[in-house]
Amino acid sequence: MSTTRTMKLITGILEAILAIPFLGALIILSNSWMPLIIMLVLHIITLALAVRVKGPLAGSVVGIVASCLGWIPFVGWMLHAAAAIVLLIEVYSRRLQRR
């Protein structure tokens, strides 16, 4: 598995955890929003890796938006869910597996 796919898988799983309605909010609020900053950094790293191999960028971009707007109730939940779905689709897409 390539580094890009591994990072997309890790960030996708973490986004899926943050998208769990009460658990995600509890994780974010109990850690003073630090998980959003950590996820932002991970998404930027993943985006840089995807750019380097000319892979799909949508998941990382949605993840960056989710990290920036994740503090807004319900909007953050929807964005985390969308980021998780897009990232995990990108991990298992044929286009990325060839790289």
Tens of pLDDT, residues 47-76: 999 999 999 999 999 999 999 998 898 999
Q: Where are the beta strands (DSSP E) in 1-99?
A: none
Q: In whole angstroms, how large is the CA radius of gyration of the chain?
A: 13
pLDDT at 93: 84
Give the per-residue pLDDT at 13.
Answer: 97
Looking at the chain, the whole-number percentage of residues with pLDDT higher than 90 is 84
Mean pLDDT along residues 14-36:
94
Statement: residue 12 has pLDDT above 70: yes
CA distances from 33 to 3, 55, 76, 84, 88 (A): 27, 30, 12, 18, 24
More confident residue, 34 or 96: 34
Among residues 43, 70, 75, 69, the alpha carbon closest in space to that of 58 is found at 43
The helix/strand/coil state of 53 is: coil
